[in-house]
Structure 1
């Protein structure tokens, strides 16, 4: 089991900062969030950063956010294929992907088959992530098809995101157990239950982060645990490094490392 730092954890800094901080703090590798940062879109540049810092790329997070709908291609199918190709170039075992948006009808109809086909031909695990609804005025609306819970469909590999379970008011430990041996990748973060994606340092919110880590350790989890926290309000690099160091210490403690 390896513990990585997401490049999203240093935003608005670039992926280069994530590689450097991960190496300095003693992480086992990096997850690359592909988005507006030009370095995140270039496997050759990422490979150079990996070699310079000694930090392997543990996963590639496909560009599936609303703000990355034009990265690489306007077609979501092509963005997923490009993510798998990048993972192969970087020797990353996992691609993280969100379920399709409801308005991506053609993509949604063929999504499960596309994921299974790409996994079979590439050898890369495509881990579909749990999401959260929009909660307003006492009602909930999901932007994802068919739901925010990928186990409703059933995939060979899943990503469990603890900030998303907080925003969804879902039971993270129950979801981890439901994912079972198909749980491949974990985004370790925290949340208060507010209706937004907070990505707090684990231990600073209300999620059972420690219990989930302990469950992974006892269940023989062999995937990647990636710290995906929000440090955009850090007052400088020292504060950002302190948060990432605290999150790593939390993970190693509760994973039994």
Structure 2
């Protein structure tokens, strides 16, 4: 068994998403990553100015000695005005930022249905950017807007989905769907919080993605009607099994912790949460599925 520079078996790098330290800023993510021993950072491009600036991100990477593993394109509704209003331009700039910073991957969501021009050209743009930049454009699985998000508590919506065996009445905001394997994209991102909210079988989805799976957002969820991004092992998703399968298959991509720590009361508590998530990832990436048990 071979080991990476920071001890991860089989050279599977474990990164920290800058979104995981919200409401702290991008620089704080680099500091946590350096202190806790993450292999790198995924930069979420959003309203914070530093996240949009290639030069400033390069400076943070140098200052803290933490590589840039991936760039998350500004796809969220809250980042609709970042880098202008044209989603195709946002993807172009994200790919160029990744190439300039030496990152392997850009994470991007499927287009929203109302972005008709972007929808029509999305697949070709993804292919073209991969060819021109050498960066993997990994399209991420998403989830529908569920009717039960309007009623009751998250725990109740999770229980309702468990009983009925699926998300129930829902509408997809994405085209052609929230499942990126409906299109023949060259590369995919698997997000385990999104599979929980969508009521998807994460193992089955990973198998459909096959060798085109190059990026994993490791998080958890209970099946609530909203995206939870719990620490891995704190929900219902097969986080341990996915990690073990990646190790067995000599996965050459990246595993990035994209979790919510917004309820941490102190920076020390946030650091403990990020450290626990890293330990979970490393422990399950370093053992076979037959030798480890789900916590």
Q: If the length of structure 1 is used for normalisation, what is the TM-score?
A: 0.99
1:64 and 2:75 are equivalent in the alignment:
yes
Distance across 1 between alignment mates of 2:103 and 2:135:
8
Match of 1:104 in 2: 115
Q: Are 2:99 and 1:88 equivalent residues in the alignment? A: yes
**Offset at residue 88 of structure 1 (A):** 1.1
What secondary structure, in the 3-state scheme, does the structure 2 residue paired with 1:217 have? helix
Q: In the TM superposition, what whole-angstrom CA distance separates every residue of 1:41-79 from its partner, at most 9, and x where no partner exists?
A: 111000000001110000000001001111012100000
TM-superposition CA deviations, 1:197-239 (whole Å, max 9, x none): 1000000000000010011111111100000000111101011
Structure-1 separation of matches of 2:53 and 2:30: 14
SS state of the match for residue 186, structure 1? Answer: strand
Partner of 1:171: 201
Aligned to 1:50: 61
Separation in 1 of the partners of 2:243 and 2:104?
21
Q: Is 37-46 or 131-140 further displaced after alignment?
A: 131-140
Which of 125, 128, 132 matches 1:121?
Answer: 132
| Superposition TM-score, scaled by structure 2 size | 0.86
Greater mean deviation of Cα atoms: 131-140 or 11-20: 131-140
Structure 2: give runs of 5+ residues left out of the alignment. 1-11, 149-167, 288-295
Q: CA RMSD in A?
A: 0.8
Matched, 1:190 2:220: yes
Q: Indicate yes or no: 2:145 matched with 1:134.
A: yes
Q: Which residue of 2 aligns with 1:25?
A: 36
Q: 2-side partners of 1:186 and 1:48: how far apart?
A: 26
Corresponding residue of 1:246: 276
How far apart, CA to CA, are the structure 2 residues paired with 1:211 and 1:2? 17
Comparing 133-142 with 169-178, greater Cα deviation is found at 133-142
Q: Specify the SS of the correspondent of 1:96.
A: strand
Deviation string 1:96-147 (CA, Å, 9 cap, x unpaired) is 0000000001100110000000110110000000000011154110000000
1:223 and 2:253 correspond? yes
Unaligned stretches of 5+ residues in structure 1: none
CA distance in 2, matches of 1:54, 1:143: 39
Which residue number in structure 1 is paired with residue 50 of structure 2? 39
Match of 1:79 among 90, 112, 132: 90
In structure 1, the residue matched to 2:188 is 158
